[in-house]
Structure 1
Amino acid sequence: MMSDTKSVSSNASGSSNKGSSTPANEPSGNIVPTSYMGDFMSFLKGILSFTGDLSSLTCPSFLLNGISLLEYGAHWNDYPHVLAEVTKATDSEERMKLVARWFVSTLYGSYNKRVAESNSGEKKPFNPILGEQFFATWDDPEFGETRFICEQVSHHPPVSALYFENAKAGIYGSGHFSQKSKFKGTSMKVVQEGRVTLRMKNTDEIYCLSLPNLNICSILSGKPFLEMSSTTFIRSSKGYTAEFQWHTKPMWYGEYHKFDGKIFRDSADVYAPNASSQDTIFTIKGKWVAESQITNVKTGEQEVFFDVNAQPSADISIKPVDEQSPLESRRVWQSVSEALTRADYDTASKEKTAIEEEQRALRKGRAEANVMWKPSMFVWIEDADDEDAVKGCYTYLYPAKDSIGNGSWVYKFSPNVKLPPPGNTPSASGTQTPSDAFSTAQSSVI
């Protein structure tokens, strides 16, 4: 059932994976303008001595990339046909293999593409404002439209909730992510908290995914790039598990961006490393920025699992800024992004400060009026209140990956969501001017 990754959709852009020689180490370009080197050194001294979460620090404008963090979530749909093809599998084993393949397909765009294409270092995205929204779509000749929604559901701590679906294929997922960072040695370690839960119409199986940690390397040289680290899991409600180990390059030898993994069936209620209950079916290894292979343990047959360079990612479609609502990412940050494009860092800083001051005033006003802010498109569901299949999957994973937390942000109009009756506490919606980028009617996959 695993399709040839060289089958390219007709409207895919050939620019997204330029050059098969993805940078294996730090880029040649420096993200720090020469005239700002003194400011950069002062910033470094600050983060080296800071003991809290680095996301709370103000980042100099010349280190910003002009993109909201919400847009990063869209990379879950870089290869929409890889997501949709999961529904073609006829058994649980094959479905798990295709879900794992889709997950690997999301990583290059999320964590390496920006540096690989520009050959300059990774810069910091904007911290989304509370209630900020991002919408995007992708079209595929075979599978039709895939759509993506992301909303900032919390500011302290910062949490972004996301939803994606392909109605024609009948597959959809909700999730959330949050990042906590600290300086360790010569790199920044980013712990990603959150989860993604994947569902489809043609099976009652549910897939629960955890997120990798990140290491931002070469910060001191002004040429930062990302490596992934830690272990991530995908657990299906039918007892299948995919386990991935993301390897950082050792100091004196080895290669960057390598990983290995396995897919196994496990009847245990709780994960334990290399437990006797695990029946390994496939092993996987390779580079998540390039090519990986999967091997059938019983037959020894090996095939390409996913190859980043075999095809370009699909074209993303986003509304023009002047057609977006005041809370959509590119409109929120338009003035800052335009200043950054001109390398007018003083103006960028002023515009960014103005946005932040406005948000502080809004928070103060809500507090004084005793108004509780609520997201417009997502609702929090505790695992204890969720369906048994979801509860079972995350109970299995929690001992090994406590960063998944004990609940999920879920799109309000997902078929699986039963909204509680409204309470008596006055509340402010996440948006008073909702975008018509997508209807807020029930999900089309119902």
Structure 2
Amino acid sequence: MVTKMNSGTKAVLTAPLSLEGEESGSKDRAPNIIQRLLSLLSNLRSGSDLTRLQLPPLFNIPKSQLQCYGEAIYCINSNMLSKCNHGENSIDRFLCVVAWSISTVRPLSFGLAPYNPILGETHHVSRGTLNVLLEQVSHHPPVTVLHATDEIEKIDMLWCHSPVPKFCGSHIETEVQGKRQLKLLDKNETYTMNSPKLVIRFLPFPGVDWLGNVRIQCQETGLEAELNYRGNSFLPRPSVHRSIKGRIFRSSTSKTIYEINGHWDRTVMAKDVSTGKTTIIYNAKEALSGLKTPFVKDPKAISQSESTVIWSEVSQAILETNWDKAREVKTCIEERQREVARERKSIEEDWTPKHFTVPHRNEGGWDCLPNHKSVPPAPIVSL
């Protein structure tokens, strides 16, 4: 979806990541994508950090990582986030938070990745009364902050993510450092959680999996969840592929209340250990099938730092499979970013984020705080 602004610039929005993992512009890629990707990584050693690797457009989906983070929140069919605040008791609300956390995991196609956001890039979208704002607050290392508020549902969310991809020979493993924080303001409950690892495997079978352990905690209620995301290691096994296994328990006693089992791309169930009753808490098909592309409601209000504006020409070229044009424009954006960084360094000027304050930063993690209590309605709208 292309929207032209009065300034002559345009915004290009593409279909959200779907349950089937069929991203816009991914259908016409070269059949030897595995060979090309391995050739690109051939000079790297196992354990190498890939955060500075610039992918050719052939390996890009037509959207930035900022948009992918945002879509995980505002692109969904059911209003799972609001349900978190409507549970009758703390256990009901915790189950809803677990289900919502699972819904933020989306499929990706092998060999394709979003653009690396440039410093200061933003993304601002609204869905109903939920307003979502993201900003790239650091380029090296890459750090993205997301703030989302819903003043009607009394919800406040803050993410601070720093993906660290490493080449491991037969696969690429990306650890998403940082935490996700969800606050239910009128319940005075804060939920903290982490993200599973993204693993891109070349051998023996190419594929993309979300793997590892996720922990969800609420100090106010004393409830915790341990979730283990599993995938195929060698031979394909439908029972293991994209599966989740875990439990919900009380922190004080470690006593299991619910057992969690299922598949994040199908259904996930919770079993009450005291009664034996099993309930479906998440249905991926209902939540993530047929997602609609967001659209520009107010072109005049879009910022020049908006992700869909910055990458518009690259995205348009990818959609048209014009790889020469895509490479030319992408290179210009990346070179301009390097030039601005050199200018800033020459005058010893520190870059300051527009929407967030970064009081603490180191290799162990970043702390980021929003400059404003709530996020305003956005010029881009998701249905």
Alpha-carbon contact 1:265-1:281 (below 8 Å) kept:
yes
Q: Which residue of 1 aligns with 2:255?
A: 279
| Residue 37 of structure 1, CA deviation | 8.4
Aligned position for 1:209: 193
Report the alpha carbon displacement of residue 242 of structure 1 after superposing the two structures with TM.
1.0
Q: Distance in 2 between matches of 1:39 and 1:245?
A: 32
**Is contact 1:136–1:318 with CA below 8 Å preserved after alignment?**
no
Match of 1:317 among 288, 294, 301: 294
Counterpart among 110, 115, 120 of residue 131 in structure 1: 120
User: 2:305 — aligned with what?
Assistant: 327
**Do the aligned partners of 2:231 and 2:243 also contact (CA within 8 Å) in 1?**
yes
Contact 2:103 2:284 survives alignment (8 Å): yes
Alpha-carbon distance, 1:370 to partner: 2.4
Q: What is the rounded CA distance, in whole Å, between the counterparts of 1:219 and 1:293 in structure 2?
A: 32
Output one character per residue of 1:283-329: Cα deviation in whole Å (capped at 9) or x when no partner. 11100011111111111110101011135566463427964322111
The match for 1:101 among 99, 102, 112 is 99
C-alpha separation in 2, matches of 1:82 and 1:326:
32
User: What corresponds to 1:82 in structure 2?
Assistant: 80
1:124-163 to structure 2, matched below 5 A, reads 124-139=113-128, 145-163=129-147
* Aligned pair partner of 2:281 in 285, 305, 319: 305
- Native 8 Å contact 2:126 2:377 kept in 1: no
TM-score norm. by structure 2 comes to 0.83
Residue aligned with 1:131, SS: coil
| Equivalent residues in 2 for 1:6-405, closer than 5 Å | 32-33=29-30, 40=37, 42-47=39-44, 49=45, 51-74=47-70, 75-79=72-76, 81-107=79-105, 110=106, 112=107, 115=109, 121-139=110-128, 145-218=129-202, 225-238=207-220, 239-252=222-235, 254-255=237-238, 256-267=241-252, 277-312=253-288, 315=292, 317-319=294-296, 323=300, 324-381=302-359, 405=364
**Aligned pairs, how many?**
353
Q: 3-state SS of the aligned residue for 1:251?
A: coil
Q: Greater strand share, 1 or 2? A: 2
Higher relative helix content: 1
| Alignment partner, residue 3 of structure 2 | none
Identity of aligned residues (%): 24
Compute the RMSD of aligned alpha carbons: 3.0
Q: Aligned letter for 2:165?
A: S
Contact kept in structure 1, 2:34 and 2:202, CA below 8 Å: no
In structure 2, do the counterparts of structure 1 residues 216 and 174 end up closer, same or farther at CA, with 3 Å as the change threshold?
Answer: same
- Higher RCO, 1 or 2 (CA under 8 Å, sep at least 6)? 2
Structure 2: which 5+ runs fail to align? 1-14
